[in-house]
A and B are shown apart, each in its own frame.
Chain A
Amino acid sequence: MSLIEVEDLWVRFPTRTGVFDAVRGVSFSLGRERLGIVGESGSGKSMTGRAILRLIRPPGKVEATHIAVEGDDILKMSERQMRDVRGQRISMIMQDPKFSLNPVMTVGDQIIEAYTQAHGSRANAREKTLEMLDAVAIRDAERVMRAYPHEMSGGMGQRIMIAMMMIPNPSVLIADEPTSALDVSVQTQVLRIMDRLVSERGMGLIFISHDLNLVSAFCDRVLIMYAGRVVETCRADRLHEAEHPYTRGLLNSLPRLDAPRRRLEVLKRDPAWSDPGSVRGSS
């Protein structure tokens, strides 16, 4: 059984100028694998992730044939059941880490609370918290525990979120740009942790990122989104051979250390890319 099964997902927002479809008929499944989602800004990556956790704020609306989590359709669940899904079965690292931390509670108290909730007891919570912070390469963990979120650097906030989301030992982790604020060496350490959760504990990972090279090296499969649809899907290690002109355009717009250029290539969008239906992203 797939960990997640999404069938014909739509996310719609009413706006002044009519209904805006942020996600348009996306279908995919997730196994015990690393599934990358790439695509340009505004293409619906975050909304796809949030819809799986029913975290689309009104007036936004989610429609789908089904969104199954280990076989259970979350569209049929009560808000109470959803809270258990969010706490225990699926964790999401939000794109805006500091925004998702409580600004008036110290970092340490927040992680300890998350740990206590997940394990039903406070025993060892402090040691575990220090261990978690160490795992995400935070130096100075004692000071960080006493600090507030606004006192953290961009990359520290991101790592604290990652540490918190791994505490409940979820079956699925949705990571929305989890390493965009990390320097490459810390990034490598954090990716190793996620990598192990997939290969050793059989977790399923949805990895949303702009970094095509990273997704290509790190993930198993990739969905490429454009204007709310999946336009192409491929094996991650074949991403550089992708055929859709949009994917090719994305690849060509990357600056390269080994091949300097005066100007970067800019994507020339073709209205035809947004027309046909979504490609299925099942393995």
Chain B
Amino acid sequence: MVALPNRVLQDHDETTFMRPVSNCAGCGDTKVSWSVLEGMKRFNREHELKGKNRYQVVYAADRGCGNLQGYHAYHIVDTIFCMGSGVIVGEGLKESCSEKQIVVTASGDGGYNFNISGFKFAAKNKKWGAITIVYNNYNIRMTGGQIPLEVDFDKEGKAMGFEVLHINPYHVDDNAELFKELMGRYLNKEKTMVVADGVCVVDMAKDTKAVGLNLGHFVKSDECLDLKFKEERERVASEEPEKLKDLPRFKCRLCGIGLRCHALLNNDPTLCFGCGACKQFPCPVGALSFEGPSFADSTRIPELLTMYRV
């Protein structure tokens, strides 16, 4: 008799777990995640809700770029199941979550097309409010650049029963304010569909390059706490190297971590994709700004061209 090898599932199957999942610097998906969380914080602050009285976001997502990063980087994502299921799973969550939990759902435009009837259900379900985010990259680009089914969110969303709101994903502060407002409207059983237009910077940057438009980059002034600290570290390294081990590696990095952007984390403008989210990020010392054209000006390339007269 031939002895079969004793096949054991090795732990190394899990090496992928160690791989940091990372969206591109400037990815619009991540910016929306930041704004949702920030919006919830601001809502609680505005209503002076503390401790147990605070509201919480429960975030039911679909499969795709934005939500993967949302999970790994922001820890905002609570559920990801099947393609297109986020919106309807969210309706189920509403049935059984607490009154202090606000369910936000997030799908790509592919997921929207995949399960438009789920959206319709969310719009028609009189029992609850709804905040459904659609990450609109105008295409199902990540999976190979297929030609998508044309979507007119304004007409379709309205026909279903949503108020359709378009946002520029890179207006992070405005969007945080909007989500703060939407949290209240959700509790009032209102139905909103937030369409985040132009979330894929990689794709849009290709297009801007093709038409000869060079996007700008972030700028940090000398006031930046991290840059100041970097100088201090360099001084200690050359003058008192024995003390270096006692120093933290960085001082602030609020913007880099908040926006999950490698360019900011490395203080390297050459890595900047030019999304423009830095324009609105609330740096505690006002040290962050942006120079030149960016998708914060517009996510529509012809509009950008007109603005910058290329």
A binds B: no
Chain A residues engaging chain B, CB cutoff 8 angstroms: none
Q: Which residues of B contact A (CB under 8 A)?
A: none
